[in-house]
């Protein structure tokens, strides 16, 4: 009799585990919006694929029209979605759905790419933040440019103490003039 009870208990545990695994693979539904709320949110966002998905997922934590106040590059929107995944959006939408939301936001709320910095005039803080240099590397470039400013980004290959690989990786954000 005891063995039979254990068998039933084990089966129940396996069913509970199986249900939990299935639920973990499926995104949660979240709160439902009334037709009036959906209409109001739709009116504030561009009509394009994934608009309703964006409203349903993003609206769980904040007004979906909040995106209308932001203008980001594709990379910027990808970073935002990654942050939102960490805050729980992955419980509301699959990775494929989050990719659709990223497409919607990056297409409809485009921002400008960051403006490049001039290596001949940039302060150390910009050289560190934008060019990715360490403090001592930025100092080495600043000391060098005081005597010999660059005419092209490739001129930094000659500068001892400045790893050109870092410069080359961020070339699209750096100029010399």
CB 128 within 8 A of CB 134: yes
* DSSP three-state, residue 174: strand
CB 52 within 8 A of CB 45: no
Question: d(Cα 141, Cα 70) in Å, to the nearest integer?
Answer: 35
pLDDT of 4 strictly over 80: no
| Mean pLDDT, range 159-168, rounded to an integer | 95
| Mean pLDDT, range 57-76, rounded to an integer | 82
Q: Give the DSSP H/E element, type plus range, for residue 147.
A: helix 135-147
Q: Give the DSSP H/E element, type plus range, for residue 66.
A: none
* Stretch among 30-34, 69-73, 152-156 having the lowest mean pLDDT: 69-73
137 pLDDT tier (thresholds 50, 70, 90): very high
Identify the pLDDT of residue 129: 84
11 pLDDT tier (thresholds 50, 70, 90): very low
Provide the token pair at 173. Answer: 């954000």
* DSSP three-state, residue 149: coil
68 pLDDT tier (thresholds 50, 70, 90): low
Identify the pLDDT of residue 29: 60
Residue percentage of the chain with pLDDT more than 70: 81
Q: What is the mean pLDDT of the chain?
A: 82
| Number of Cβ atoms within 10 Å of the Cβ of 100 | 17
Identify the pLDDT of residue 94: 95
The angle that helices 51-58 and 35-44 make with each other, rounded to 10 degrees, is 110
Q: Cα torsion at 61, 65, 69, 72 (round to 10°)?
A: 80
Identify the pLDDT of residue 13: 36
| Mean pLDDT, range 152-162, rounded to an integer | 95
């Amino acid at each position: 009799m005891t063995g039979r009870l254990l068998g039933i208990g084990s089966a129940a545990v396996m069913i509970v585990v199986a249900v939990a695994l299935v639920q973990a693979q499926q995104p949660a539904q979240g709160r439902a919006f009334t037709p009036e709320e959906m209409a109001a949110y739709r009116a504030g966002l561009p009509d394009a694929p994934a608009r309703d998905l964006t409203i349903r997922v993003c609206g769980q934590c904040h007004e979906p029209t909040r995106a209308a106040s932001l203008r980001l590059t594709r990379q910027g929107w990808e970073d935002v979605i990654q942050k939102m995944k960490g805050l729980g959006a992955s419980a509301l939408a699959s990775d494929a759905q989050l990719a659709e939301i990223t497409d919607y936001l990056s297409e409809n709320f485009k921002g400008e790419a960051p403006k490049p910095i001039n290596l001949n005039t940039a302060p150390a803080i910009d050289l560190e933040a934008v060019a990715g240099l360490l403090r001592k590397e930025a100092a080495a470039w600043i000391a060098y440019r005081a005597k010999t400013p660059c005419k092209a980004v490739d001129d930094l290959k000659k500068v001892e103490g400045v790893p050109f690989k870092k410069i080359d990786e961020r070339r699209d954000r750096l100029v010399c003039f």
